[in-house]
Structure 1
Amino acid sequence: MSSDEITLTAGDAEVTVRPGDGGRIGSLKVGGTELLRQGEHFGSFPMVPWCGRIRDGRFRDGADVHQMPLNAAPHAIHGTARDGAWRTARHSRTADRAVITHELTDPWPYPGLVTQVVELAPGSLTLTLAVETYGSSFPAQVGWHPWFNRQLAPDAETVRIDFEAAWQERRGADHLPTGERIDPLPGPWDDCFGMPDGVDVTLTWPGQLALNITSREPWVVVYDEQEAAVCVEPQTGPPDGLNTAPRLVTPVSPLEATTTWTWTSLDPG
């Protein structure tokens, strides 16, 4: 755990931001109940400068081919920023907003700056990621990988995931999209879905809490194959998107995305 941990509070919610641990949201408590899975590699981390897997760790930018470390062999996964330290740029005196930054360095081949803004309000958490270049343009993706607890209390009912997607990316044996779009299939999932009108997914812990995850971005990965947690990951492109659907960061046009999590108590008490 980083010594520069930031605690934000608003209403009955408390958020812990860990700049020294990959810019991770280490904790989200509502009414004293922890929503995020605890432990190393969990919480909610930003995926920058790519989301999900890159096939064989390689992506092309024009005539140049770049090789990323195979940290999920035979692929590279979830970007480099989650493994690096971030710096606290601003922390509001009202303790409800923080701004943290991360310098893109090796093994990523392009110099750039990532900024994450964390804003907590009574009943909602808004996260904004932006990638700027210090020089030449480059392809990139941004997104978030939250791990939500499947149960909020021992013996409580497990979470229900509700969403309507326009399509599902058919997944190959290598867990990467094949390029074929199909009608959404029932779970369990480790799959990417298309939502052209923006991400809109609701997690419901019966009798306890409903949490709605939204974003203007049209892509979301839903993962619920693990016993302890489920993941809903808004992102600016599909897995392997640096090769199939890249977004360009230019000196005059940074890449920016936002997600908002809004919750409502279902406790009749």
Structure 2
Amino acid sequence: MRLRAGDTEVTVLPEDGCRLSSLRVGDAELLVQGSGSGSFVMAPWCGRTADGVFRNGATSHRLPLNAGRHAIHGTVREQVWQRVDRADDDRSAAFVVDLAEPWPYPGRVTQIIELAEDGSALTMTLGVETAGDSFPAQAGWHPWFVRRLRSDGPEAAVEFSPTGQLVRADGIATTEIGDVRPGPWDDCFTMPDGVDVTLRWGAELELRVTGRDEWVVVYDEQPHAVCVEPQSGPPNGLNTHPRLVTGIEPLETTTTWSWRRPAGPAV
């Protein structure tokens, strides 16, 4: 399905994990095309869960390993979602999916996607609810932004000012926060005042990714893409920064992507 506003068009694939397969601003495609690309939802955890094991109180759970010896990026990106709002709205849509095996707790994930009226921004909200016992959870987005808007265009530059970078051990983020090191990165950064990262393609376009949570992963080790991943907790956070979803307190996180021509008004 497609959402449209101004000269912006977003393609959403509810049958493929509620993934954004395209974000076109004018004649520019901002997301990498192809299977597994675009922008997918991470829930009920983000990044790698070490050894596929997490605890909920005294109970230990084991998740399937799909990233070497670790479990990565949750389960809902591989499920079919359902649209639950009216279908005649061209600018917004709401989707739901029930948590299922191999996740050990019943619950539901909701995603609301909304384009600004003038087509200059996209806001997405994720919610995680329990249908029974409380459980730790995370939610976030994994967009694959194109390295170049045109084959001969400038490369995207990442501009942000994090307060720290999580130290990794054996490829897994620890709880230790160190100094920010030069890229390329596959790392989680802390931004206590909220995520605020800008991608700038020279004078062609700038894209600002914001969110109220403090955690963002930047992955720019691939030659064709730059990933800026706002999320409610850090990688391995089910173990290191557990956020309990309860019957009276669901998890909710929001990100807004906005864009403009650097030397002019909003696209």
**Structure 2: gaps of 5 or more residues:** none
How far, CA to CA, are the matches of 2:23 and 2:72 in structure 1?
A: 24
**How many Å apart are 1:73 and its aligned residue?**
1.6
* Residues 117-266 of structure 1: pairs in structure 2 closer than 5 A: 117-121=112-116, 122-172=119-169, 174-266=170-262
Sequence identity percentage: 57
How far, CA to CA, are the matches of 2:151 and 2:184 in structure 1?
A: 22
How far, CA to CA, are the matches of 1:200 and 1:45 in structure 2?
A: 19
How far, CA to CA, are the matches of 1:185 and 1:142 in structure 2?
A: 26
What SS does the corresponding residue of 1:243 show, helix, strand or coil? helix
How far, CA to CA, are the matches of 2:94 and 2:4 in structure 1?
A: 15
Tell me how large the CA RMSD over aligned residues is.
Answer: 1.2
Amino acid at match of 2:50: R
Deviations 1:155-187 (A, max 9, x none): 101000000001100122x32113221111110
How far, CA to CA, are the matches of 2:167 and 2:135 in structure 1?
A: 27
TM norm structure 2: 0.96
What SS does the corresponding residue of 1:242 show, helix, strand or coil? helix
TM norm structure 1: 0.95
How far, CA to CA, are the matches of 2:82 and 2:175 in structure 1?
A: 38
Q: Select 2:21's aligned residue among 26, 29, 39.
A: 26
Amino acid at match of 1:144: W
Amino acid at match of 2:184: P
* Residues 39-188 of structure 1: pairs in structure 2 closer than 5 A: 39-121=34-116, 122-172=119-169, 174-188=170-184
How far, CA to CA, are the matches of 2:89 and 2:67 in structure 1?
A: 40
How far, CA to CA, are the matches of 1:179 and 1:268 in structure 2?
A: 42
What SS does the corresponding residue of 2:85 show, helix, strand or coil? strand
Q: How many residues align?
A: 263
Q: Is the 8 A contact 1:132 1:250 kept in 2?
A: yes
Mapped pair 1:9 → 2:12: no
